[in-house]
Amino acid sequence: MTMPESRTPIERPRVIVTRHLVPEVEARMRELFDVVLNVADVPLTRDQLAAAMQDCDVLVPTVTDRIDADLIAGAGGRLGLIANFGAGTEHIDLAAAAARKILVTNTPGVFTDDTADLAMAMIIGVPRRIREGTGLVRRGEWTGWTPSGLLGRKLAGKVLGIVGMGRIGQAVAHRARAFGLEIAYFNRKPLPEALERMLGARYVGDVDALMAESDILTLHCPLTEDTRHMVDARRIALMKPGSSIINTARGELIDQEALIAALESGHLAGAGLDVYPDEPHVDRRLIAHPNVMTLPHIGSATTEGREDSGHRVIANIRMWADGHRPPDQVLTALVRG
């Protein structure tokens, strides 16, 4: 549904951005909007978010901002658009926004290749014990080549299980096929047969079954009440001894205590983690494990990706301010009166 043409356009909407963006994007925002930037890049407190939402036409939050129902209920009457920087919107109460007729937009597809590249780096790096090897060299503990030293697992012929076969999951499958991995996946529904053939991917209709046959499991699904802790102790126990788990999606998809227990027992050989349930806190037991790659949520951290996402945010704001439907509207049934 499109926005009503009768709505008065806003020539220079007041825009508040909650985090520091790349210079090119911030410079363009200064040209186009009455913008308040967070140059210090210090996350806003809840009170600061509440104050911002009282004083703007457009809020530009990121995944670090929790925009819940109470904050939305207390927003000022001029707030008409929450233009999220990033694809995920689970940190925004979409139902509450709909109730207030506040539009929500995101930037889908921008970080697909970047996130898939990082996931692939860990899919390679964990079985080959890259972190452990670099640690030996950095600490001066490497004593030289030996036929039995730091043996990892070969990728070719192993089963890569992909949970979530959207844009990123498909991009990972495309990359993984070049390394000789067998691709199995779980999704809410199977991909079209032609796309499965192109990716060399096989649908598995049950998460339990997928985990039981995976040598490497990689997560690429959104965080919902149904997917929270979907990888728990029971499901990890189904996995092959010596298998590994990769997560570049959301930390809460995994029961962290169950993951740590499986790593410490040796049931899992390793893990690659870019996200955590209580960011920026990372459990010391994960950091201490020699074969856990702990990265600081950098799946989308490329100059190109962050610039593209920022320009998508700008496009959404400009279309909304001109009285039109933003191209990346999340709730298409919303109408701003």
Concerning whether 297 is annotated as a catalytic residue, the answer is: yes
Question: Cβ–Cβ contacts within 10 Å for residue 34, how many?
Answer: 16
* 3-state SS assignment for residue 121: helix
Give dist(CA 214, CA 316) in Å, integer: 40
* 3-state SS assignment for residue 115: helix
Active-site residue (options: 11, 24, 264, 279) = 279
Concerning whether 153 is annotated as a catalytic residue, the answer is: no
Name the strands in the sheet holding 268-273, side by side, starting at the edge strand that comes first in the sequence.
201-203, 182-186, 159-163, 216-219, 243-247, 268-273, 292-294
Q: 278: exposed, middle or buried (C-beta count within 10 Å: 0-12, 13-18, 19+)?
A: exposed
Whether cis (ω within 30° of 0) applies to the bond prior to 147 is no
CB 59 within 8 Å of CB 102: no
DSSP string over 253-269 = GB-HHHHHHHHHHTSEE
Give dist(CA 36, CA 31) in Å, integer: 12
Concerning whether 279 is annotated as a catalytic residue, the answer is: yes
Active-site residue (options: 167, 220, 250, 289) = 250
Q: Could you tell me which of 164, 165, 166, 161 has the C-alpha nearest to residue 182?
A: 161
Active-site residue (options: 297, 311, 318, 336) = 297
Tell me, rounded to whole angstroms, the distance of Cα 134 from its chain centroid. Answer: 26
Q: Which residues pair with 246 in a beta bridge?
A: 218, 272
Give dist(CA 281, CA 268) in Å, integer: 22
Phi, psi torsion values for 172, nearest 5 degrees: -65, -45
Active site residues: 250, 279, 297
